[in-house]
Amino acid sequence: MSTKIKVKLGRVQETLLLPLVSRAKETEYKNPLLNDTKAVGLFKQIDVDKKKLLRNITEIGVHGLCYRAYKMDEAIRTFLQKHPNGKILDIGAGLDTTYYRCDNGKALWYDLDLPDSIALRTQLLPPPNKRVTYIAKSMLDYTWIDDIGDISNGLFITIPGVLPYFKEEDVRVFLSTIAPRLKGAEIMFDVISQFGKFFVDMRIKAAGMKEAHLEWGILDAKTVTDWSKHIELVRTIKFFEAMPKSNQRLSTKVAMQFNRIFDMTQLFHLRFV
Ligand SMILES: C[S@@+](CC[C@H](N)C(=O)[O-])C[C@H]1O[C@@H](n2cnc3c(N)ncnc32)[C@H](O)[C@@H]1O
């Protein structure tokens, strides 16, 4: 039997386990939103308290994290149809497996995360070819913009499950700093309302990540577009909108409806101009 890989990460970095376990679990559902066999393999390989993680992850939690990936995959595929030789940057990549679901054989992929997360990623999921580059830096170390280089063939940035952990002022400075330097790029990230923070924080704590706090709560994308003349709204997507039919429990269906009514979680799709 192969040796399991120990996971030693900081308190925010270890939250990367939640989307990973969700994608693995979703893949086992009937009619899954994502068929992520890579995530299933990775989850088997890591040495963590799986029982505890699985016990505390709910069906709505699994669907929420996978809906985010599903909509981002859709947007990346659309982008790649227009920009087949473009670049995709995943900020706070963790053990994200988007490349394996969406690669077109031509695009250049960049996965950026803190050094300990990238070390784990490199160990478990080494770059599969020269078109995939890992960047071990904080997103607040803006030298990553030079690492990405020329973006004349298009750049699509995803930031799944990262910005809600930052204070609003940090997010404002981050987006207003990168926007004028990456004109033409599209960016997509998930946001949570102040109300939604309460529920999601509870789930993160229940999964044993007691020190990872959600900070940024937001409802209206105008707050973000008002931060800089270089940020333009493409669209917002409410979580679970146009969700493909599957066999959820009644409690999950009710929770999804509740989430939609109160705009608890959304995706913001923006363009830098
Ligand atoms: C909830 S996980 C999301 C992982 C991945 N995006 C996914 O959906 O599977 C949050 C990620 O943000 C990363 N992160 C936290 N602070 C960061 C920073 N300052 N710069 C880059 N990544 C950061 C963590 O290391 C972790 O991988």
Q: Residue range 254-261: average pLDDT? A: 89
Residue 131 is part of a domain; what is its CATH number?
Answer: 3.40.50.150
Closest ligand 1 atom to 16 CA: 2
Percent of all residues in the chain with a pLDDT value above 70, rounded to a whole number: 99
**pLDDT-derived band at 56, boundaries 50, 70, 90:** confident
The binding-site residues of ligand 1, defined as CB within 6 angstroms of any ligand atom, are 12-13, 15-16, 18-20, 92-96, 112-114, 117, 138-140, 160-162
Backbone phi and psi for residue 136, each to the nearest 5 degrees, phi listed first: -95, 80
Pocket of ligand 1, candidates 7, 38, 113: which has the most ligand atoms within 8 Å of its Cβ, to mutate? Answer: 113
pLDDT for residue 147 is more than 80 = yes
What integer pLDDT is reported at residue 247 of this predicted model?
A: 72
Decide if pLDDT at 26 tops 70.
Answer: yes
Q: How many domains does the chain have?
A: 1
CA–CA dist 62, 72 (Å, integer):
16
Higher pLDDT pick, 207 / 17:
17
218 Cα: distance to centroid of ligand 1 (angstroms): 19
- What is the reported pLDDT for 206? 74
Task: Report, as an integer, the average pLDDT of 7-23.
Answer: 85
For 198, the domain range is 5-272
Ligand 1 mutation target, pool 117, 124, 170, most atoms within 8 A of CB: 117
Sequence-distant (6+) residues with CB within 8 A of 216 are: 163, 164, 165, 166, 167, 168, 171, 191, 192
Question: Does position 214 have pLDDT exceeding 70, yes or no?
Answer: yes
Q: Whose CA is nearest to atom 23 of ligand 1?
A: 92
Q: Kindly indicate the confidence band of residue 204, based on its pLDDT and cuts at 50, 70 and 90.
A: confident
For range 62-82, the mean pLDDT:
96
Q: What is the pLDDT of residue 2?
A: 59
Task: Give the pair of three-digit tokens for residue 273.
Answer: 């101009």
Nearest CA to ligand 1 atom 7: 96
Judged by average pLDDT, the poorest of 103-112, 191-200, 229-238 is: 191-200
Length of the chain: 273
User: Which atom of ligand 1 sits closest to the CA of residue 68?
Assistant: 8
Question: pLDDT tens digits for 107-142?
Answer: 999 999 999 999 999 999 999 999 999 999 999 999
Confidence of residue 154 (pLDDT cuts 50, 70, 90): very high
What pLDDT does residue 245 have? Answer: 73
Atom from ligand 1 closest to the CA of residue 159: 6
Mean pLDDT value across the chain: 92
Q: What percent of the chain has pLDDT over 90?
A: 71
pLDDT at 78 over 80: yes
139 CA: nearest ligand 1 atom = 20
Nearest CA to ligand 1 atom 20: 138
Q: Whose CA is nearest to atom 19 of ligand 1?
A: 138
The pLDDT tens digits of the residues spanning 234-254 come to 999 999 998 877 778 888 888
Distance 154 CA to ligand 1 centre (A): 23
Q: Does the pLDDT value for residue 1 go beyond 60? A: no
Provide the residue type at 90 as one letter.
Answer: D
Ligand 1: residue of 65, 90, 114, 140 to mutate (most ligand atoms within 8 A of CB) is: 114
Closest ligand 1 atom to residue 96 Cα is: 9
